[in-house]
A and B are shown apart, each in its own frame.
Chain A
Amino acid sequence: MKEATKTLHDCRDAFARELECRAEADDRVVAVCNDSVGSSKLTGFRDRWPERLVNVGIAEQNLVGVGAGLANGGCIPFVCAASCFLTGRALEQIKADVAYSEVDVKLCGISSGMAYGELGPTHHSVEDYAWLRVLPGLTVIAPADPVETREAVRYAALHPGRFFLRLSRVGVPALFPEDHEFVPGRADRLREGGDLTLIANGTLTWRALAAAELLAGEGVEARVLNMATVAPLDRAAVVAAARETGALLTCEEHSVHGGLGSAVAEVVVEEVPVPMRILGVPGVFAITGSANALLDHYGMAPAAIAEAGRELLRRKG
């Protein structure tokens, strides 16, 4: 497909570059990790500020608790670990020490979704939206490209509050202009259209855009919303999309249960019931393979997203 020939970016690079910029500008910025210096792309940070990289070893409960303590002590901690371990192993610490304690920790779930696709479901993180979006006051963000990643890291560093940044290592094309203004909780309309709306984030945004192009070739105009922030959700954008296009299709590198699609559905059923489809991992422990192969397998290749859109249009009538 056309997009595959474009330059693809590992968003961890943008994350690491911006984290170093923030660390240079503010010595309160520290990185905390669980023996994940390499996979969290923290080698540059470690080389420049070895004392400000707090590596607690393979101990995620302690990792998050230490992050909370560092924040109490005046630091701005970016707590980095593979998303599956950060959110699964340390969920109670995220709930009690960070969210409920209202302590400003910036949680970075690295290699989220099915980035470790070949390693199997122990290493997949397709439950993290469901676990985290219900925690009050925790802002959950899944950037879709390097610019959005950079801006999300910058925002989290410069603003008080508790953040979970869901960062993938799976290559994605550049989507946003350099001067893109990132606002948490605000959906970005990447494509205009009145026939239906595709809502996606993270690694699915470019796929949704590609699907919209396929539909456009058939005269179907799909609106595309990049919903980087899963919590708090941009309810107004969902309501407007439902009212103005009458059908919603969500796409996510997450279980179909409890994630972006569920969050959108909660708004739709309360505000503007319209036909809807939720694309994601269909409530199973995924088979193994590369992330892109698995996304294709579970019906999220651009052509399959487009086909789901056509079905939805038929239901819309």
Chain B
Amino acid sequence: MQTQDPEKPTAAELAELSRRIRRLDLETVYRAGAGHLGGEMSVLDLLTVLYFRVLRVWPERPADPRRDRLVLSKGHTACALYCVLAERGFLGRETLPGFLGFDSPLNGHPNRVKVPGVETNTGPLGHGLPVGVGMAKAAQLAGADWRTFVVCGDGELQEGSNWEAAMAAAHHGLDGLTLLVDLNGLQQGARVEETNHLGSLEEKFTAFGWAVREVDGHDHGALLEVLEDLPAERGSPTCILAHTRKGRGISFMEDRVEWHHKVPSREQYEQAMAELETGS
């Protein structure tokens, strides 16, 4: 596909890229025999738009102090991040088959020491937003223009540490901080609303002093529109409630709780691959 500016893929090109990365992710998890496909399919469009259009990052200089920071707080979807980082040039694609291998840098949760482009080691939930608040505060103190993005799950918002951080972010007026909530409505064991209902996140984050935007988390054009208009309100951190579906793009996985960390059979794998060839 041709593009005017390879640095600025269009929404349609981003959608195509996401589909390719979904296939890469599926293949990587299938080969490793473990992973978190449901949440990875859910978060992949967010990561693709961020890494290919929004984040100011340089794969050849992953630690450049002027880079935008992205923290994947839902660290169990590491494979999605690895696939995006590989497509973006942070990792060689040949490293992906090492996912979950013995002494591989590509662990089940991202490790900043082992993987270029990873900012902090996540895995236990509720850790990303506090660290993101610290990053955004550092930029504010330095008067720097780099920005911080945190991607978390919705079930993860049951962790109280997020709300400590949400308060602090608003108190410090961190408008360089954006939280994207991958709002797929499912957590490991059941629906979020059946487990510990979050209520209205729009009202909660607004009450905590954040500017809140809602978007279809699989609509690349809509995501671009929101993410290219940050901060949503000057002086406030931005929360983007991205409505997503767990297992997105694979019919038998979509919105099914059992696909949190299930691995497809050979037949299921082939069907999923076929769907991702032609799907939206």
Contacts and interface: CB of A to CB of B under 8 A. Distances in A.
A59 B170 CA distance: 14
Interface string B163-198: 011011001100000000000000000000000000
Contact of A101 (B121, B126, B132, B172): B121
A30 interface: yes
B127 interface: yes
A65 B127 contact: yes
Interface of A is mostly: helix
Interface stretch (B1-9, B135-143, B226-234): B135-143
B160 interface: yes
Interface centre among B111, B121, B126, B167 (most CB of A within 10 A): B121
A72 B139 CA distance: 10
Interface residues of A, number: 30
A103 interface: yes
Contacts, number: 109
B130 A64 contact: yes
Which label, helix, strand, loop or mixed, suits the secondary structure of the B interface?
helix
B164 A56 contact: yes
A73 B136 CA distance: 8
Given A62-B130, A69-B130, A101 B112 contact: yes
Given A62-B165, A96-B123, A102-B113, A69 B142 contact: no
Interface in A59-84: 59, 61-62, 64-75, 77
B224 interface: no
A96 B109 CA distance: 11
A58 to B, nearest CB: 9
Contacts of B235: none
B161 interface: yes
A73 B161 contact: no
Interface string B138-157: 11011000001000000000
Given A73-B142, A74-B142, A75-B138, A61 B126 contact: yes
Contacts of A100: 111, 121
Contacts of A74: 65, 138, 142
Given A61-B126, A62-B168, A97-B121, A70 B134 contact: yes
A93 interface: yes
Interface of B: 65, 69, 111-113, 119-124, 126-127, 129-139, 141-142, 148, 160-161, 164-165, 167-168, 171-172
